Structure 1
Amino acid sequence: MLIQSVVMGILCCISILTLGNYFGVIGITSGYLVLTIIGFIWTYFIFRNKKKEWHNEE
């Protein structure tokens, strides 16, 4: 999850700088919402894959 956290942090910074310049607070909030949804989906897939690996090792 370290890679996911670093990538999401970088994307969040880029989102804030670009959307903030063009759309202000609404752009920042919308970008953060989209990235939060993407992060949640990515985390779910990591959890599902690692859970399968964990249970197959036994």
Structure 2
Amino acid sequence: MMKEAIKCVFCCSSIEEKNFGIVILGKYICADCERKITHLTGDDPNYDVYQGGLKRIWFNEA
């Protein structure tokens, strides 16, 4: 049986050896999305997208 690829909950990219990222409550976030999240400001147009995604992870809806 083949193991399912681990995918980022934001961009759906598969995990790569050189792009580990982080796992929060069992959900994977790639290094690129992690970098975007950590550099967001409140007035960034993507702020609500990432905030909503993190809420879904926290409340186990992702």
Tell me if TM exceeds 0.5.
no
Q: Which has the higher contact order (CA 8 A, sep 6+)?
A: 1
**Which structure has the bigger radius of gyration?**
1
Task: Give the structure with the higher percent helix.
Answer: 1
TM-score by length of 2: 0.34
Task: Give the structure with the higher percent strand.
Answer: 2
TM-score by length of 1: 0.35
